[in-house]
């Protein structure tokens, strides 16, 4: 359910068109004034009080000529959403992906064709070269098959090669998958993936932050990669050259404090240069199968066969994680209280709570409240 009405959505789309307003500044504006429409109803003095908004940006926001031009574009986008049977969710909606919300620069809205379900929170990115070897294809099939059997959603970029294999195997195994585009929903790229595109909409979602009419230009793909990694608990790199786009996805994942995994390859093959480098430099964990990946997340992906309460193995927790876990229960508790009870700083608690969250032991709730899962 959208938090904002159509007027707010139009205002949010207008803001996204203003030169110099990136996602973080737009988020600051909406948080400060309460809604996108309220931003345009504010005055110059109020605007420059918002973090990141200088005099030039404030003038652009209140410029009637600029607003009129962008208003027409925004209204057209809403019409296209209806025409293409798509939808839009914003950063402030409950449906917005949980882990994507936590990255440094999350998009303020996403255009979707398909559905994002609560179970998609357990997602893993699988990316790699557009020119995989037989070995790369086979490893991708094996890993994705096993991840799907554990109920994980596969995230990739619809590109030729490893991305296409990952999406296809996920669908063949009756699993769910997300494809993140570097274009608007009205551009299917590459064209040969048209059938795959529509299959994904029935068993997952096509996702993009780019409005309708945005072509799949090369400049768009690096930025979309932060969404691929941001949607996921971890990123698996299967074959890439040292300059491949998957290397940038790995970098984003590391910056977002997410796990990075890489499959080692033949040192004489260029498709293995990137993965071998990530392993050698210590930026990625060497993996050869899905089991290697799942072990990093403890019992998070163990399927529940009944509602019977089971004993949880806490042996993998460090002393700080164990201390924090012991003060939690099923009722939400605020971060300040956790800090007080554990005699740890708030920042220390947040670091270890995030680790516990990735292990499936803790749930983060709005307002910096936490509880056991």
Contact 57, 39 (CB under 8 A): no
Q: DSSP string covering 39-82, please?
A: HHTS-HHHHTTSTT--HHHHHHHH-HHHHHHHHHHHHHHHHHHH
H helices of 218-366, in order, are 221-230, 245-255, 273-280, 290-294, 319-327, 335-342, 346-358
Give the integer Cα–Cα distance in Å for 275 and 235. Answer: 12
Each residue of 166-177: pLDDT tens digit? 999 999 999 999
Give the integer Cα–Cα distance in Å for 11 and 39. Answer: 8
pLDDT < 70: residue spans in the chain: 1, 299, 302-313, 366-367
Predicted pLDDT at 368: 79
Which of helix, strand or coil describes residue 22? Answer: coil
Predicted pLDDT at 355: 86
**Residue indicated by tokens 């956790």:** 338
Neighbours of 51 (CB within 10 A): 10
pTM of the predicted model, to two decimals?
0.81
The dihedrals phi and psi of 261, each to the nearest 5 degrees, come to -120, 145
Going by their DSSP bridges, the two strands 285-286 and 177-180 should be labelled as: unpaired
Q: Where in the chain is the domain with CATH 3.40.50.450?
A: 113-297
Predicted pLDDT at 310: 42
Give the integer Cα–Cα distance in Å for 304 and 316. Answer: 20
Report the candidate in 126, 125, 131 with the shortest Cα–Cα distance to residue 273.
Answer: 131
Q: Judge residue 195's burial from the number of C-beta atoms within 10 Å of its C-beta, 0-12 exposed, 13-18 middle, 19 or more buried.
A: exposed
Predicted pLDDT at 306: 33
Predicted pLDDT at 308: 34
Q: Which three-class secondary structure string do you get for 139-192? A: HHHHHHHHHHHCCCEEEECCCCCHHHHHHHHHHHCCCCEEEECCCCCCCCCCHH
Angle 22-28-34 from CA coordinates, rounded to 5°: 130
Across the strands, what pairs with 208?
111
Predicted pLDDT at 214: 97
Q: Tell me, which fold does domain 319-372 have in CATH? A: Arc Repressor Mutant, subunit A (1.10.10)
Arch. (CATH architecture) of 6-83? Orthogonal Bundle (1.10)
Contact 221, 215 (CB under 8 A): no
Q: Where in the chain is the domain with CATH 1.10.10.10?
A: 319-372
Predicted pLDDT at 113: 97
Predicted pLDDT at 235: 98
Q: Where in the chain is the domain with CATH 1.10.150.20?
A: 6-83
Predicted pLDDT at 366: 66
Predicted pLDDT at 312: 61
Q: Tell me, which fold does domain 113-297 have in CATH? A: Rossmann fold (3.40.50)
């Amino acid at each position: 359910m959208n938090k904002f009405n159509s007027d707010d959505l139009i205002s949010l789309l207008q803001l996204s068109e203003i030169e110099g307003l990136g996602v973080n500044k737009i988020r600051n504006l909406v948080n400060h004034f309460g809604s996108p429409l309220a931003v345009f109803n504010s005055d110059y003095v109020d605007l420059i009080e918002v973090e990141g908004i200088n005099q030039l940006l404030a003038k652009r926001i209140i410029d009637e000529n600029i607003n009129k031009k962008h208003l027409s574009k925004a209204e057209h986008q809403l019409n296209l959403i209806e025409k293409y049977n798509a939808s839009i969710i914003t950063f402030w909606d409950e449906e917005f992906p949980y882990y994507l919300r936590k990255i440094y620069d999350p998009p303020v809205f996403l255009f979707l064709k398909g559905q994002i379900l609560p179970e998609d929170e357990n997602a893993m990115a699988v990316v790699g070269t557009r020119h995989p070897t037989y070995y790369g294809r086979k490893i991708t099939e094996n890993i994705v098959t096993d991840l799907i059997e554990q109920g994980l959603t596969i995230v990739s970029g619809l590109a030729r090669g490893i991305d296409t294999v990952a999406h296809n195997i996920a669908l063949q195994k009756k699993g769910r998958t997300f494809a993140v585009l570097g274009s608007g929903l009205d551009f299917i790229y590459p064209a040969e993936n048209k059938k795959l595109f529509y299959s994904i909409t029935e068993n997952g979602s096509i996702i993009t932050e780019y409005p309708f009419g945005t072509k799949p230009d090369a400049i768009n793909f690096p930025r979309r990669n932060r969404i691929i990694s941001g949607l996921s608990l971890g990123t698996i790199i299967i074959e890439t050259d040292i300059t491949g786009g998957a290397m940038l996805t790995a970098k984003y994942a590391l910056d977002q404090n997410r796990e990075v995994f890489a499959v080692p390859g033949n040192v004489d093959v260029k498709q293995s240069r990137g993965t071998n480098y990530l392993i050698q430099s210590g930026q990625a964990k060497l993996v050869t199968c899905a089991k290697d990946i799942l072990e990093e997340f403890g019992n998070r992906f163990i399927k529940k066969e009944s509602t019977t309460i089971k004993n949880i193995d806490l042996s993998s927790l460090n002393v700080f994680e164990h201390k924090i876990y012991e003060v939690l229960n099923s009722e939400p508790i605020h971060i300040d209280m956790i800090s007080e009870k554990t005699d740890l700083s708030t920042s220390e608690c947040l670091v270890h709570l995030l680790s516990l969250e990735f292990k499936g032991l803790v749930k983060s709730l709005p307002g910096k409240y936490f509880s056991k899962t």
